[in-house]
Amino acid sequence: MIFSLAKKSTLIVEDFAEFARSVRAMLSTMGAKNIDIVYNAEDAIEACKARKYDVILSDYNLGQKKDGQQLLEELSKYHLLKSNCVFLMLTAENTSTMVMGAVEFQPDGYIAKPFTGNLLKSRLQKATDKKDALHPISRAIANKQWEVALENIDKVSKENPKYKMSCLRLKYKALKNLKQLDKALELVTKIVSQRAIPWAMQAVGEIFYLQKNFKKSLDIFKNVTTEFPMALEAYDWLAKVQHELGQPIDAQTTLTKAIEKSPKALQRQKNLGSLAEENNDLPVMTKAYREAVKHSAHSAFSSPEEYLKLTTALTRQINEDPASSTDAVTKEAEQVFGKLEKAFSSSGTTKLRSSVARAQLYKANKNEEKQKKHLADVEKNLINLDEQISANISLELSESLREIGSEELSDEILNEAIQQNLDDPIFIEKASKLSNNQDLINLSKQAGQYNSKAINYFKNKKITDAINYFKKANKIAPTNINICLNYVQARLKQAQSDKQNIDSLHIADQILSTMPNLNFSDHRYARYSELNRLIQLMLQERE
């Protein structure tokens, strides 16, 4: 069969216009009619939102902003690629420079520039053949149907011996996701016993890690980093294992080595920053989070954490190093706050955290006026907050506010968090160390116990008893969303089994309409809306 692009839509992402045109000419000779060209990653993302391409050719170097790898990561993360889309990376260098990094998001091939039309055609054809052959597997994986994937892997592997290695790698991934760790280990150990293939060696270490066999895992990853000094992911794993074994200083050294080789990795910089914080190494912590913030702007994996950690480090610098230039450090921190608030402008929690951190900065600066101003912002942001704050962030905020002497706001956040998380014993333990409201802690523990008792009754289908205890828990902690939803569900169950019972429905309806608002992005929102739908439906039927 002659390879043709006649029926395929293609996208060229290349910052060098002349070169983009020459690639277009090559694609035209292969019969391509639908060829779009964009000159940067941002436009490529827009193009992929508008249209699902069959073939994407992207340069790795795309100027100052996102590079080709980051583009691929973002397209994959937001599901903007067809599962059989062929993505080829055009590179200036020896191609394996990038191959050893991101295992999760790999392109279907690399071509070193400059290249001829003949070579492009050959690579495209090979990548297309492979993608098509493996499609039954990649489709199942995209839908997280790992069992189906496993079945398809065996089939595809038998029919296409050429793709045996790729199939083995996918099989490893499927087994790992199915938590069949012994089988996964057996598979990769067999590969490694024949040849030292970097990905398979790493996989062995990964399984040992998952099996909590940290000593063996350590040996493997040390071995990989010695034999393949550019296998950067192995350094990430090695650091993780070292940390697990209580060697945070070694872990920091390991990550520093990896970052010297490739500084352009957001998660690695964040991990280094966190280790440096643990090791009390303020200069490294500051530098790592500074780099993280720099890369965060172009990454699909950016989060407020790196920004806030950087301002924490800078604030600590003012507190701990009197020789540092306070003005310059403050100015840098202010810029970071500005970037943070712009990047996450729709998040109420981020606004709140940012205002708390700003108040901390000016406390360190001994600038009372500005500290007060930002504390006023904290209050305002707290009132306007339209989402639940997670347990850990609540603790962090409460602690910070206490440090800068704002007991009242600290208590407000902590008390709300205690109410919301009383079914989380680890959290309550931490909170009880911070809170001076021992009554609330005790009551919360009580409510938490009622709640878990009720859940047990519910599981054993003793609905009346369950309702009894949920009711008690709800009475102590009326704003706790989990308890509200549990109670509503028990009431609903009762109404479903007893057609005469309208009271239960009214009580459930009452709770749903008076409990705290749930933001659409909250993971419990789906449960809330389904319960609400069922109750409204039954109320209509019965009245």
Partner 1 sequence: MQKNNDDIFNLILASTVHDMKNSLGMLGQSLKSIFEHIDPAAIDTKANNLCGIVQYETSRVNNSLMQLLAIYKLENEQLPFNPSYYNLYDFLDEQRLLHLPLLEAKNIDCEIDCDEDIEGVFDESLLGTVLENIIGNAIRYTKNKIAIRCNQNDMLEIEIADDGSGYPEQMIKLEGNYIHGINQSSGSTGLGLFFAQKIAEMHKHKDQNGSIELANGGALNGGRFIIKLP
Q: Applying CB under 8 A, which residues contact partner 1?
A: 16, 18-19, 22, 61, 92-97, 99-100, 110, 112-114, 116, 118-119, 122-123, 126, 162, 164-165, 195-199, 228-231, 260-261
**Whole-number minimum distance, CB 128 to partner 1, in Å?**
14
**Whole-number minimum distance, CB 95 to partner 1, in Å?**
4
**Whole-number minimum distance, CB 15 to partner 1, in Å?**
10
In angstroms, the CA 254 to CA 225 distance is 10
**Whole-number minimum distance, CB 251 to partner 1, in Å?**
20
**Whole-number minimum distance, CB 97 to partner 1, in Å?**
6
**Whole-number minimum distance, CB 470 to partner 1, in Å?**
57
In the complex with partner 1, the residue whose CB is nearer, 291 or 396, is: 291
Q: Residues, the chain, total?
A: 543
In the complex with partner 1, the residue whose CB is nearer, 112 or 537, is: 112
What residue ranges in 390-471 does DSSP mark as E strands?
A: none
User: What is Dmax (Cα atoms) for the chain?
Assistant: 78
539 CB-contact burial (10 Å; exposed 0-12 / middle 13-18 / buried 19+):
middle
In the complex with partner 1, the residue whose CB is nearer, 115 or 214, is: 115
- In which residue are the tokens 């600038």 written? 367
Q: Which long-range contacts (CB under 8 A, 24 or more apart) does 43-52 make?
A: 43/13, 44/11, 44/13, 44/71, 44/75, 45/71, 45/74, 45/75, 45/80, 47/11, 48/11, 48/75, 48/80, 48/81, 49/80, 51/9, 52/9, 52/80, 52/81, 52/82, 52/85
**Whole-number minimum distance, CB 120 to partner 1, in Å?**
10
In the complex with partner 1, the residue whose CB is nearer, 165 or 526, is: 165
In the complex with partner 1, the residue whose CB is nearer, 226 or 436, is: 226
**Whole-number minimum distance, CB 235 to partner 1, in Å?**
12
- Angle, helices 282-296/248-261, rounded to nearest 10 degrees: 40
In the complex with partner 1, the residue whose CB is nearer, 19 or 39, is: 19
Residue among 263, 286, 256, 260 nearest 273 (CA): 286
In the complex with partner 1, the residue whose CB is nearer, 260 or 369, is: 260
Q: Give Cα 501 distance to the centre of its chain.
A: 44
For residue 38, what are the CA distances in angstroms to 41, 46, 80, 225, 313? 8, 10, 16, 38, 39
**Whole-number minimum distance, CB 146 to partner 1, in Å?**
24
Contact status, residue 175 vs residue 150, Cβ threshold 8 Å:
yes
Contact status, residue 322 vs residue 100, Cβ threshold 8 Å:
no
Contact status, residue 83 vs residue 139, Cβ threshold 8 Å:
yes
> Does residue 354 sit in helix, strand or coil?
helix
DSSP code, position 162: G
In the complex with partner 1, the residue whose CB is nearer, 97 or 324, is: 97
**Whole-number minimum distance, CB 232 to partner 1, in Å?**
9
In the complex with partner 1, the residue whose CB is nearer, 88 or 507, is: 88
**Whole-number minimum distance, CB 448 to partner 1, in Å?**
51
**Whole-number minimum distance, CB 250 to partner 1, in Å?**
19
In angstroms, the CA 368 to CA 353 distance is 19
In the complex with partner 1, the residue whose CB is nearer, 223 or 302, is: 223
In the complex with partner 1, the residue whose CB is nearer, 288 or 483, is: 288
234 CB-contact burial (10 Å; exposed 0-12 / middle 13-18 / buried 19+):
buried
Amino acid at 530: E
In angstroms, the CA 288 to CA 290 distance is 5
Contact status, residue 498 vs residue 463, Cβ threshold 8 Å:
no
Contacts of 409 (CB under 8 A, 6+ apart): 375, 378, 379, 382, 401
For residue 156, what are the CA distances in angstroms to 8, 128, 190, 394? 24, 15, 20, 50
In the complex with partner 1, the residue whose CB is nearer, 122 or 324, is: 122
